Amino acid sequence: MGDVAGGPCVLVVEDDRKILSVLSTTLETDGYRVVGANTGQRAIEEVRTRNPDIILLDLGLPDIDGLALVPAIRVHSTAPIIVVSARGGDPDKVKALDAGANDYLTKPFSVPELLARIRVAIRSHAQVGDAPRTIVSFGAYRLDLEGRTLVRGEDHVRLSATEFKLLATLARHPDEVVTTRALLKEAWGSAHYGKSGYVRVYMHSLRQKLESDPTRPQYLINEAGLGYRLRTRTSE
């Protein structure tokens, strides 16, 4: 049962008792404290009283639309939220990410994947908590958000203004999914919603500059139908 008192607290919002039980066992084995909530109402109460370090939120809940729960949780907590959805192409996933969720998982997911996502989310949240990061490293690259430079080893990589903005937006949330919509807003402003083609075009040129094989990207990972993820850790 691991170190029940000391580990980070995970709130698992899930209405299926069996899934909740498996998740609890797995997470506790890995040293987390687990709090379960089987309704949206319970979830909000637990967020208020227990102040969890991370929230695992199933989008299909009996009482409240999981999507509406994201902003409701955000009122009380800044803890990272990982949404769990049953369908691969679920449009609610994008909405949840835009509403303030930090990452997503699709059912059925593997335990190592779940643990990796939780670790990433907790770590990047802790970093945000400390001080805004100005240097983000991935592979041989060092991105200086303040100095607006990207260096590979010793070499300066020349980026256009838009490319830099896109890369910087991804780097501010390392290893998390940033939706295409969020990227559009960051680089072009909210007047350009719906023009995801722009993002694709500039991500293509970014990949040409940063990736050795653009069809097997190491850093700029595309999540079909969702957005992009800047991978800063290669083996998780």
Partner 1 sequence: MSTTITRNKTVRDGKMWRMSQALKRDLPGVAAVAAVTVLGLWLGGRADLTNVPIAFLFVIAVVSMRFGYQAAILAAIASALCFDYFFLPPYGSLQITHSRDLLTDIAMLAVAVLVSTLNERLRREARSARLSERQAESLYSLVRELADAHSLDSLNIAGMRQIESAVAEVSARVLIRNGAEGFKCAFSSGGRVALETEDLEVANWAAVHLEPAGQGTRNLPLASACYVPLVAARGCVGVLALRSRVSDSMVVVRPSSLIQSMAQQLAMAIERALLSQEKHVAEIEAETERIRNAVLSSVSHDLRTPLTVITSASSTLVERGDRLQGTARAEMARLIHDEAERLSELLKSLLDLTRLQSGALSVNRDWESLEEVVASALRRVDERTGPGTRQLRAHVPNDLPLLQLDAILIEQVLMNLIDNALTYSRTDFPVEISIAARGDRDVLVSVIDRGRGIPSDDLRRIFDKFYRSDNTAGQGLGLGLTLARGIVEAHGGKIWATETPGGGLTVQFTLPITGTAPGLLEPEPSEKGTQPWAM
| Binding-site ranges for partner 1 (CB under 8 A) | 88-89, 91, 108, 148, 158-164, 188-189, 195-198, 200-205, 207-208, 214-217, 221-225
Query: Is there a contact between 113 and 105 (Cβ–Cβ < 8 Å)?
Result: yes
The angle that helices 40-50 and 66-76 make with each other, rounded to 10 degrees, is 20
Give the closest residue to 232 by CA, choosing from 141, 121, 111, 131: 141
Nearer to partner 1, 6 or 194 (CB): 194
Q: What would the two tokens of residue 94 be?
A: 């994008």
Nearer to partner 1, 78 or 160 (CB): 160
CB of 98: closest distance to partner 1 in angstroms?
15
Nearer to partner 1, 153 or 194 (CB): 194
CB of 206: closest distance to partner 1 in angstroms?
11
Phi, psi of 71 (to 5 degrees): -65, -30
Query: Is there a contact between 143 and 137 (Cβ–Cβ < 8 Å)?
Result: yes
Nearer to partner 1, 33 or 117 (CB): 117
CB of 181: closest distance to partner 1 in angstroms?
11
* Prior bond of 52 cis (ω within 30°): no
CB of 46: closest distance to partner 1 in angstroms?
30
